[in-house]
Amino acid sequence: MTAPATLSEAELAAKGLELFNDTGLSGGNKASCATCHFSTGHTNNKTYVGLDVVADGDPNGRNTPTLWGVGERSVFGWQGQAATLEDSIRGIIVNRMKGPEPSKETLAALIAYVRTLNYPANWQVNEDGSPRPDASAAVKRGFELYTGDGGCGTCHQLPTFDKKSRDDIGTGGKFKVPTLHAVASTAPYFHDGRTASLREAVKMMWEVYAKKMESRLPTDAELDDLTAYVGAL
b/e for 197-231, b at 16 or more Cβ within 10 A? ebbbbbbbbbebbbeeeeeeebeeebbebbbbbbb
Question: What pTM did the predictor assign?
Answer: 0.91
Distance from C-alpha of 211 to C-alpha of 67, rounded to nearest angstrom? 32
pLDDT of residue 11: 96
Alpha helix stretches (DSSP H) within the chain: 9-20, 33-37, 85-91, 104-114, 137-146, 198-213, 220-231
Q: What CA–CA distance (Å, rounded) separates 101 from 98?
A: 9
The reported pLDDT for the residue numbered 2 is 52
Q: What pLDDT is attached to residue 218? A: 96
* Domains of the chain and CATH, by start: 9-114 (1.10.760.10), 137-231 (1.10.760.10)
- What pLDDT, on a 0 to 100 scale, did the predictor assign at position 75? 86
pLDDT at 68: 96
What pLDDT, on the 0 to 100 scale, is given for residue 4?
60
Crossing angle of helices 220-231 and 198-213, rounded to 10°: 110
According to the model, what pLDDT value does residue 3 have?
A: 53
Mean pLDDT per 10-residue interval, the chain, length 233 residues: 74 97 96 93 95 95 95 88 94 96 97 96 94 98 97 92 89 92 96 96 95 93 98 97
Distances (CA, A) of 49 to 57, 64, 143, 167, 175: 11, 10, 35, 22, 16
